[in-house]
């Protein structure tokens, strides 16, 4: 489990086609040294298994489901990715519960500074993303959504246009891969698991109560 608080960015060194699988190699100085073979790591919101780890890089195999559901296949050598290690038990949840199970990709519509006259590292940003229906059904204003593995808060949700607007603080813009993305780029989306549970519960028929007057009288009420 993750919380959507990005620890650092890494850079893609390459994606290699192998017989029956694709393997991605990611440079992650500092963080790679904390990994052990088989550990989970979130790469731009995608939970992967770290393999063939060295002091400054790790590898991971991409299942076909991962390729079909995420934006990882668009990456090229030099692309920035967000990295997060799993949250240890008992650690405060600073973001929200992120599983690393990407639901679908959205598309960046715009990423604009709120104060164009300010330095790019000092201004808030407004991020607009088109969201597919498979994710949109779980989106609510002021709710949480994971974008490229980042725990973000929905500022505005336009269900008619399937567009989500998110306020980005300078720290998030500078310390994640957001500053390297552009309109038209795909981004990995994971809906809040709590909203998924609430949605599925709302679709269930209301349970009929077994509490009756006769039952209450029988038990002395």
**Catalytic center residues:** 2, 40, 47, 49, 63, 101, 153
Task: Tell me which residue has tokens 């079909």.
Answer: 68
For 51-120, the DSSP string reads BS--SSEEEEEE-HHHHHHSSGGG--TT-EEEEEPPPPTT---SS--B-S---EEEEEEEEEESSTTS-T
What CA–CA distance (Å, rounded) separates 136 from 134? 6
Please check whether residue 3 is in contact with residue 97, taking contact to mean a CB–CB distance below 8 angstroms.
yes
What CA–CA distance (Å, rounded) separates 186 from 135? 14
> Starting from the edge strand earliest in sequence, which strands make up the sheet with 46-49, in order?
46-49, 40-43, 80-84, 8-18, 21-27, 57-62
What CA–CA distance (Å, rounded) separates 198 from 167? 25
Which of 166, 103, 108, 106 lies closest to 138 in space, CA to CA? 103
């Amino acid at each position: 489990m993750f919380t959507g608080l990005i620890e650092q960015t890494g850079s893609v060194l390459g994606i290699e086609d192998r017989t029956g699988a694709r393997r991605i190699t990611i440079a992650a100085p500092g963080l790679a040294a904390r990994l052990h073979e088989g550990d989970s790591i979130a790469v731009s919101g995608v939970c992967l298994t770290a393999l063939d780890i060295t002091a400054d890089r790790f590898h991971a195999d991409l299942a076909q489901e991962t390729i079909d559901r995420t934006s990882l296949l668009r990456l090229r050598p030099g692309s920035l990715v967000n990295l997060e290690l799993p949250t240890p038990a008992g650690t405060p949840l600073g973001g929200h519960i992120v599983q690393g199970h990407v639901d679908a990709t959205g598309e960046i519509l715009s990423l604009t500074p709120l104060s164009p006259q300010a330095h790019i590292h000092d201004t808030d940003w407004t991020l607009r993303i088109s969201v597919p229906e498979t994710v949109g059904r779980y989106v609510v204003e002021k709710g949480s959504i994971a974008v490229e593995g980042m725990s973000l808060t929905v500022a505005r949700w336009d269900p008619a246009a399937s567009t989500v607007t998110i306020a980005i603080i300078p720290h998030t813009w500078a310390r994640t891969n957001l500053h390297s993305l552009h309109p038209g780029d795909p981004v990995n989306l994971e809906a809040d698991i709590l909203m998924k549970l609430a949605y599925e519960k709302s679709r269930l028929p209301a349970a009929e109560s077994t509490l009756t007057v006769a039952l209450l009288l029988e038990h002395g009420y």
